[in-house]
Amino acid sequence: MIYLASTSPRRKALLRKAGIQFRVVQPDYDEFMTRKTPPSQVVQIHAVKKAESCRRKIKNGILLAADTLVYLKGEAIGKPRNMREARLILGKLQGRWHWVYTGVALLKLVSGRTLKKLVFFEKTKVRLKKLSPRQIKNYFLRVHPLDKAGAYAIQSAHGGIIQAVKGPLSNAVGLPVEKVREKLRAIDS
């Protein structure tokens, strides 16, 4: 059995769409940001900590945890704390290329012990359209930004703010499903 250490509706939808059966366990971990740690390491550290926070809840199975952040010219951007911060973030990202990093941790648990552990990351390059303050305000009337890294939802049909994507789209949504499927086979062998 696969256990998803996440309450993200996007991650759940991606796994369902990929035909991967799972159960949800809620992680108990508060993310942190640091300027000195590269984004590829930050998302992997967070994914591992989320998985480890759920380890005691599972005796046997594979625990899957993930963390996503946006990275623009040396700055890691997570989820906005409020609408003001969401407007600032989207104003900064609009019209520019940025990276979306997702770290993933897979723990194979047998009798409550970690038998195997795989940790990896994926990145996707995204460019948002140029947006006026009014367009940003209207976007937030349709898409709630506070639970999304970078304050936008790439998968949302309501937005239409994405200009281009280079790399795995599922990664930019919050879980690199293709790579996860490959690593699930590896950890379960």
Check: CB of residue 50 under 8 Å from CB of residue 5: yes
Count of helices and strands (H, E) across the chain: 6, 7
Round to whole Å and give the CA distance between 6 and 39: 20
* Number of residues in the chain: 189
Angle, vertex CA 126, rays to CA 25 and CA 176, nearest 5: 35
**Residue 43: Cβ within 10 Å count:** 30
28, 67, 147, 188: the active-site residue: 67
Please indicate whether residue 147 is annotated as part of the active site: no
- Name the nearest CA neighbour of 104 among 53, 52, 66: 66
Any idea what DSSP says for residue 62? E
Check: CB of residue 51 under 8 Å from CB of residue 3: no
Check: CB of residue 183 under 8 Å from CB of residue 104: yes
Round to whole Å and give the CA distance between 106 and 60: 13
Show which residues are catalytic: 67
